[in-house]
Structure 1
Amino acid sequence: MWLMRPTNTYRNVWRIKLQDKLNSTTYFGSQGMSILIFAFPIMFISLLGCLYLHLKEISSPARAELRRSSRVLGRPALSKGPLGIVSWMQLSFFLMFIALVIWSFATYLKTGFDQLKSLQRFRTASFRMALIGTLSCAFLFFPVTRGSSILPLFGLTSDASVKYHVWLGHITLIFFFGHSAGYIIYWAINDEICEMVKWDKAGISNVAGELSMLFGLILWATTFRRVRRKILRLFMFFFLLHVGISFFYLVLPGVYLFLLDRYLRFLQSQQKVRFISARLLPNETVELNFSKSSERPAIRFRAQLQRPQLRLHLRSSVSTFQWHPFTISSNSNLEPDTLSVIIKKEGSWSQKLYQALSSPSLERLEIAVEGPYGHVSTDFLGHDCLIMVSGGSGITPFISIIRELLFMSAAQSCPVPKLRLICAFKTAADLTTLDLLFPLSGGKLDASQLDLIIDAFVTREKEPIVDPRKSIQTVWLKPLSSDVPISPILGPRSWLWLGAIISSSFILFLLLLGIVGRFYIYPIDKNTNTVYSYSSKAVLALIFMCVSIAGVASAAFLWVRRASSSSAAQIKNFDVPTPTSSPASLFYNAIESWKATHTRPSSRRPRCTMEKGRICRILLQFDNMDSGVLVSGPREMRSDVARICSSGLVNNLHFQSISFTW
């Protein structure tokens, strides 16, 4: 429908027939066609996505075989540029969207221009720019809906798609600005500048459109996240008042699903989770361990290829308002009842956290969470070898993968790929991060059956410096009995619940619209000479949407929490004293012994540099086996490895980028 919408066929044939059949109803009026054509299909696809993801979750295979087509589409097509590292799959979607924009704008300009004068053409072109801006706005919110059931259908995640939200925002504001500027120029030329202060009761509201564009320009100019979020709401609100609810249905599905996801996250964030322990490393890195729901199927993040995230908020002890996302490093097989995240001290927030945990008088921290977001991916099991390249805190996603393979090698459940971990750290103290490869609750793990080679590089010290006064410390907290274990927002069957909420809330929304439209708005339009205000219709629709989402989502959330309260009550509150001694570091304390016994390079020794050529030589060694190359770290590192994998020097390297920032 988006493809056909600019054509004369749609405007002169399809739309007329659809309006005769759908807009004549007394329940929805002129909204009927837009609801059926532009809103209903996306809501139905999101429902099907929930069912698909639920079935995929309960039938996850032990070993995932990669299809040749998915491998080709997953290869990097671009490694540098404004879009960053882009795979062929992502590039295909991006080019299809750009082609749709060009096709729509060109077709809009072509149809009907022959019968218009030059000034009328200018006005029509300005109007067409608004239609293209609406097309971009219709896709704007899908990439930032964290609990989306649509993105996973195409192998996409919200955090990896944020860059497309940014570019869609640019495209939207460019066309909307052209639309607004064009109309102002047209009014000025025709001495109709008074049109700027008109707010028609039954039509387009110019004042609301100007306010929407004003907030859009502020949104465009500012770089402050808190300001952007507030201005975005005002921009969309006045856009709704400007175009009316009938036209707003073109962008409503994305807005609806985003609001639903945001409200569910709000409900989850009101609870305090059970924070049980922390590991403090000499390099001021912290591993936080939380109690996790043990319901089946519970939270199962065995592989961090999709980088599942947890957003943390530490109450007044550290920060009142700040929320920060972190990658989950725990593994469900080794740690069935705990969930862990790793935080490196790189800012004021993490510094305050480290200082609070280092305090000897600390007994507990009040922590709220949102998430986890993401889904399990076992694609890495389809390779014969895994090459993991990380820089600094980029090693975090690989910790869960190595823990998973440790469990699989011990259980001998299926063949385990060979592992090569190439990691770069700024200082020798950062080498203690490698101790987090083994979970705190994992006991004595036998890693001898795992074919693992670690190349550790120290980039800012000529010689590794060891401070014997520093060691790993484990701090045990004393949670309250009211603290709850971390669990999915909607429980173990979250995708089914999400599908039920989407369908039920949208049906309730349509029922409220239909009832009010039939018994309140329709009698006014029919029995009086006036028309019910379009802006009032838009505000009523917005209220009904919020009421439907809040009512159904709240009821489902409370029902799920009540059902899981019995299992949460089984987790008893216990006091664990802080250990008087700290566990030894397997890697950090081995530096001095290495320096005493080795006089020539070793594959496991700390090295002083991590050059691109050296990485290239390592990757070229794997030409004879099917290898997955996972990269997590600075943008330059990811770009360099992407160019090596896409250069054609080695045909069996399959690149996967894990980015903390787009």
Structure 2
Amino acid sequence: MDQYSVQEPLLSSQGVKKKPLFVSLAKWVLKILIWVIFIAWVVFIFVYPTQLGNEIFEKCIGATKGTPFGLSGSIFLLLSGPIILIAILAIAHLIISGEEDIQQKKNSKYPRVRLWTFPVLVGGPFGVVSAAEFIGILLFVVYIIWAVYAYTIRNLSLISNWHFTSKEEGIWLLELTGLRLGMIGLFCLAFLFLPVARGSVLLRLIDIPFEHATRYHVWLGHLTMLLFTLHGLFYVIGWGMQGNLQYEIMEWRDVGIANFAGVVSLLAGLLMWVTSLPGVRQWSFELFFYTHQLYVVFVLFLAFHVGDFIFSMSAGGIFLFMLDRFLRFCQSRRTVDVVSAKCHPCGTVELVFSKPGNLRYNALSFVFLQIRELSWLQWHPFSVSSSPLDGKNHLSILIKVLGRWTEKLRENIMKTSEVETAKLLDQPFQPHAKITASVEGPYGHEVPYHLMYENLILVAGGIGISPFLAILSDILHRINEGRPCLPKNVLVIWAVKKSNELPLLSTINMESICPYFSDKLNLEICIYVTRETDPQLEEGIVHKATTSSICTATKGYGMSVLVGTGDNIWSGLYIICSTVGFVSLLGLLDVFYINRYGIQSWWYKGLLFVACMVASIVIFGGCVVGLWHLWERKTLAREEHLDNRMKAEKVPDNEDMTNDNFFEKKHSSFTVIQYGSRPDFKEILGCVAKQWGFVDVGVIICGPPTLQCSVAREIRSQNLRRESDDPVFHFHSHSFDL
């Protein structure tokens, strides 16, 4: 790659408008406040198992004594309130931040290893684990060991004060240990639902997208279910030793723990746990997906089992997840126009959706797609293959045909194409076929981190090239339009099985986006065709798509902007109003029903607590969503009026996308194709280290786990043995762990 063709960044920091001092000060105050609340919350969770923690807890639960909220209000305020307060402060931080200038987000001037991008563990049961994630795992392990130890000491001390036989001591120790494990499980449950809220304001605050956070949910899920299983098992053994196992399992007390409700909750959790194991999930993803909907039963019967005041210990994370789930439900009710659908000969489907101009996303976003003709329940995630600068009224994705759902999608498109062809040939008696799509998202990183590096390496396996097409398009658009954009050296490594996948690169016409871009950007593309030893076609010949069609949804809608990662003000109002509504409903219920009529039943109060959570989201949050929807309609109407003379933006038609020959001679200068070989990352990164020198290099990988591990292992090796003038490689994964 030429080193001298681009000597300076595309846009320097000169002329960049700085935010006012009070805005920067407000952001720092919010950050400090968020960290103080979070650290205090975590510290209390750590000390809770001790006698000191118990004394602090007893003093704090009197905070709402004498108020309608009572004990459950105190516990909720102490253990769930902090995470909800952090979410509200995070909203304020995101609103103040706005769309920050990329130059202000640029990485450090002096290259250095960073905890989030340095892989520590590679290829183990956790996959690729960064240094920051490894520290988090260690903290959870330390907490579990510490809590078990502290509780065991307290249990032994408690039993020593009583006069029991050895058998009775064993039974009490088992039951007390089971009780303590259940308490630890509740604290883990407080974190369990946070990573799977797709538009979570907390994930946006720390800039971790849902696609990456799902692995934290998997780890926490295994840990939580292990603790709850041991919790139930210890009680079962104790009841068996007492000889009243059947009676205790079927017991459903009004005042106290409802055992049978706990059994139902645990069985639902065990079904989710077993079907989520890697072997079962790979064997039948549908079984895993449908069984995982039992989380509703798991949570509801957990509330029955422990009552409102114990359930409130972990209710904060569950409430934030419910907020996200309801918003996703509202967004997904709309059908979306499929503007263009095309089948490539390599087994890849390309879909182009209509979207409003104000829908916010970046080039590394992803969407969840439902095709109602295939399934009303299944939602599948796909990376966006278009840049937001490609056009304000459309968004495209590439789908590799691998399983039953994708195969049915391809067949449906083929049938739709046949119907369209029959209409052109005046054959009206063809079978009816259509595509009715619903979309959730887009989701993704809060900031486009691919624009924060002057030096990029994009490593793709197969259809993993899809998000990198969006990245290349985004960079080229920004260069052409003079927008903030740091990348000046880009190396693309693409491993494919067969050469019929190569035309996917022709879906992006680089010269038309940015003429003479090679004068402004050092771009090199290395393609490895692993299962062919020689070119199957002469250079210059492009595979043509086998079929293409234009599909229109029945209602003619674009994608909805009702998404957690969308407008910060509306999504903030939605969370705040739902939270205020929940507290208000809980207070009114206590004043006019629970306290007035002396309701004492634990399981019934747990049901009312969950009902207040649901009602607050549907009623108060629903009102905000309704106003948000009206605002969306007015905004779209205004856009249509302004664009009336330039009627919508023309979506690139199939002919434009297929006839652009990527392998023309003008592109041969930066494209190398190797047959019958795989990329040697040790050699590749070694050459990059010699050419680019002492710089930060962002390495983004989208592909199977084996590819991620290979790249991560070499990045770790390069960073550990690097010399003073070698680059620092930063690992970024853009792959789903589900």
TM-score normalised over the length of structure 2: 0.80
Q: Does 1:41 align with 2:102?
A: no
1:469-513 CA deviation, whole Å, 9 max, x = no partner?
941478462535832222431599622222222221122122122
Q: Does 1:452 align with 2:509?
A: no
Q: Tell whether the 8 Å contact from 2:528 to 2:677 is kept in structure 1 after alignment.
A: yes
1:522 Cα deviation (Å)?
Answer: 1.2
The alpha-carbon distance between structure 1 residues 578 and 520, as it changes in their structure 2 partners (threshold 3 A), is closer
Q: Does 1:411 align with 2:481?
A: yes
1:66-117 CA deviation, whole Å, 9 max, x = no partner?
1467834321111210111111122222222222222222111112522415
Tell me how far apart the structure 1 counterparts of residues 241 and 551 of structure 2 sit (CA, whole Å).
72
1:431 Cα deviation (Å)?
Answer: 0.5
The alpha-carbon distance between structure 1 residues 84 and 533, as it changes in their structure 2 partners (threshold 3 A), is same
Aligned to 1:629, what secondary structure does the other structure show?
Answer: strand
Q: Tell whether the 8 Å contact from 1:47 to 1:503 is kept in structure 2 after alignment.
A: yes
Structure 1 letter corresponding to 2:395: L
Tell me how far apart the structure 2 counterparts of residues 602 and 490 of structure 1 sit (CA, whole Å).
39
The alpha-carbon distance between structure 1 residues 50 and 475, as it changes in their structure 2 partners (threshold 3 A), is farther
Structure 2 letter corresponding to 1:655: F
Structure 2 letter corresponding to 1:430: E
Q: Tell whether the 8 Å contact from 2:80 to 2:317 is kept in structure 1 after alignment.
A: no
Tell me how far apart the structure 1 counterparts of residues 660 and 74 of structure 2 sit (CA, whole Å).
66
Percent of counterpart pairs with the same letter?
29
1:353-395 CA deviation, whole Å, 9 max, x = no partner?
3333342424963211111112343333343321111110111
Structure 2 letter corresponding to 1:631: I
Structure 2 letter corresponding to 1:35: F
Structure 2 letter corresponding to 1:375: H
Q: Give the structure 1 partner of residue 544 of structure 2.
A: 471
1:608 Cα deviation (Å)?
Answer: 2.4
Q: Give the structure 2 partner of residue 14 of structure 1.
A: 56
TM-score normalised over the length of structure 1: 0.89
1:53 Cα deviation (Å)?
Answer: 2.4
Q: Does 1:346 align with 2:402?
A: yes
Tell me how far apart the structure 1 counterparts of residues 376 and 176 of structure 2 sit (CA, whole Å).
50
Q: Tell whether the 8 Å contact from 1:277 to 1:474 is kept in structure 2 after alignment.
A: no
Aligned pairs for 1:164-563 (under 5 A) are 164-193=216-245, 194-222=247-275, 223=280, 224-295=287-358, 298-301=359-362, 303-304=363-364, 308-316=365-373, 318-358=374-414, 359-362=417-420, 365-414=435-484, 415-438=486-509, 445-449=515-519, 450-466=521-537, 470-472=543-545, 475=548, 477=550, 479=552, 482-490=555-563, 494-525=567-598, 532-563=600-631
Structure 2 letter corresponding to 1:274: D
Tell me how far apart the structure 1 counterparts of residues 609 and 445 of structure 2 sit (CA, whole Å).
33
Tell me how far apart the structure 2 counterparts of residues 485 and 522 of structure 1 sit (CA, whole Å).
49
Aligned to 2:105, what secondary structure does the other structure show?
Answer: coil
Q: Tell whether the 8 Å contact from 1:144 to 1:162 is kept in structure 2 after alignment.
A: yes
Q: Tell whether the 8 Å contact from 1:43 to 1:502 is kept in structure 2 after alignment.
A: no
Tell me how far apart the structure 2 counterparts of residues 91 and 131 of structure 1 sit (CA, whole Å).
24
Aligned to 2:597, what secondary structure does the other structure show?
Answer: helix
Aligned to 1:234, what secondary structure does the other structure show?
Answer: helix
Q: Tell whether the 8 Å contact from 1:46 to 1:499 is kept in structure 2 after alignment.
A: no
1:173 Cα deviation (Å)?
Answer: 1.6
Tell me how far apart the structure 2 counterparts of residues 412 and 227 of structure 1 sit (CA, whole Å).
48
1:144 Cα deviation (Å)?
Answer: 0.8
Pick from 697, 708, 732: which aligns with 1:638? 708
Deviates more, 1:40-49 or 1:14-23: 14-23
Structure 2 letter corresponding to 1:14: I
Matched residue count: 640
Tell me how far apart the structure 2 counterparts of residues 556 and 443 of structure 1 sit (CA, whole Å).
40
Q: Give the structure 1 partner of residue 14 of structure 2.
A: none
Q: Does 1:661 align with 2:737?
A: yes
Aligned to 1:139, what secondary structure does the other structure show?
Answer: helix
Aligned to 2:500, what secondary structure does the other structure show?
Answer: helix
1:5-27 CA deviation, whole Å, 9 max, x = no partner?
1111232x3233223342332x1
1:322 Cα deviation (Å)?
Answer: 2.5
Tell me how far apart the structure 2 counterparts of residues 234 and 384 of structure 1 sit (CA, whole Å).
49
Tell me how far apart the structure 1 counterparts of residues 494 and 62 of structure 2 sit (CA, whole Å).
65
1:533-560 CA deviation, whole Å, 9 max, x = no partner?
1111111121121111112232222212
The alpha-carbon distance between structure 1 residues 6 and 72, as it changes in their structure 2 partners (threshold 3 A), is closer
Q: Give the structure 2 partner of residue 150 of structure 1.
A: 202
Tell me how far apart the structure 2 counterparts of residues 609 and 556 of structure 1 sit (CA, whole Å).
56
1:443 Cα deviation (Å)?
Answer: 6.0
Aligned to 1:116, what secondary structure does the other structure show?
Answer: helix
1:147 Cα deviation (Å)?
Answer: 0.9
The alpha-carbon distance between structure 1 residues 239 and 581, as it changes in their structure 2 partners (threshold 3 A), is closer
Pick from 624, 629, 639: which aligns with 2:693? 624
Q: 5+ unaligned residues in a row in structure 1: which ranges?
A: 526-530, 595-600
1:622 Cα deviation (Å)?
Answer: 4.3
Q: Give the structure 2 partner of residue 597 of structure 1.
A: none
Q: Give the structure 1 partner of residue 9 of structure 2.
A: none
Tell me how far apart the structure 2 counterparts of residues 383 and 4 of structure 1 sit (CA, whole Å).
42
Tell me how far apart the structure 1 counterparts of residues 294 and 619 of structure 2 sit (CA, whole Å).
26
The alpha-carbon distance between structure 1 residues 9 and 471, as it changes in their structure 2 partners (threshold 3 A), is same
Q: Tell whether the 8 Å contact from 1:64 to 1:381 is kept in structure 2 after alignment.
A: no
Q: Tell whether the 8 Å contact from 1:292 to 1:486 is kept in structure 2 after alignment.
A: yes
1:457 Cα deviation (Å)?
Answer: 1.0
Structure 2 letter corresponding to 1:278: A
The alpha-carbon distance between structure 1 residues 578 and 28, as it changes in their structure 2 partners (threshold 3 A), is closer
Deviates more, 1:70-79 or 1:548-557: 70-79
The alpha-carbon distance between structure 1 residues 315 and 404, as it changes in their structure 2 partners (threshold 3 A), is same
The alpha-carbon distance between structure 1 residues 491 and 228, as it changes in their structure 2 partners (threshold 3 A), is closer
Tell me how far apart the structure 2 counterparts of residues 272 and 540 of structure 1 sit (CA, whole Å).
34
Aligned to 2:561, what secondary structure does the other structure show?
Answer: coil
Q: Give the structure 2 partner of residue 528 of structure 1.
A: none
1:413 Cα deviation (Å)?
Answer: 4.1
1:378-433 CA deviation, whole Å, 9 max, x = no partner?
33334332111111011112112111211222234455321111111111111111
Pick from 74, 91, 100: which aligns with 1:59? 100
Tell me how far apart the structure 2 counterparts of residues 210 and 556 of structure 1 sit (CA, whole Å).
38
Structure 2 letter corresponding to 1:287: E
The alpha-carbon distance between structure 1 residues 347 and 445, as it changes in their structure 2 partners (threshold 3 A), is farther
Aligned to 1:250, what secondary structure does the other structure show?
Answer: coil
1:135-180 CA deviation, whole Å, 9 max, x = no partner?
2111111111101111233332221121221221111121112121
Tell me how far apart the structure 2 counterparts of residues 275 and 230 of structure 1 sit (CA, whole Å).
28
The alpha-carbon distance between structure 1 residues 461 and 99, as it changes in their structure 2 partners (threshold 3 A), is same
Q: Tell whether the 8 Å contact from 1:65 to 1:382 is kept in structure 2 after alignment.
A: yes
Q: 5+ unaligned residues in a row in structure 2: which ranges?
A: 1-43, 161-168, 281-286, 421-432
Structure 2 letter corresponding to 1:19: I
Deviates more, 1:574-583 or 1:401-410: 574-583
Deviates more, 1:453-462 or 1:571-580: 571-580
Q: Tell whether the 8 Å contact from 1:133 to 1:176 is kept in structure 2 after alignment.
A: yes
Q: Tell whether the 8 Å contact from 2:700 to 2:733 is kept in structure 1 after alignment.
A: yes
The alpha-carbon distance between structure 1 residues 370 and 602, as it changes in their structure 2 partners (threshold 3 A), is closer
1:515 Cα deviation (Å)?
Answer: 1.4
Q: Does 1:126 align with 2:178?
A: yes
Q: Tell whether the 8 Å contact from 1:474 to 1:578 is kept in structure 2 after alignment.
A: no
Q: Tell whether the 8 Å contact from 1:22 to 1:33 is kept in structure 2 after alignment.
A: yes
Aligned to 1:339, what secondary structure does the other structure show?
Answer: strand
Tell me how far apart the structure 2 counterparts of residues 439 and 269 of structure 1 sit (CA, whole Å).
34
Deviates more, 1:116-125 or 1:629-638: 116-125
Report the aligned-residue RMSD.
3.0
1:267 Cα deviation (Å)?
Answer: 1.1
Q: Does 1:116 align with 2:167?
A: no
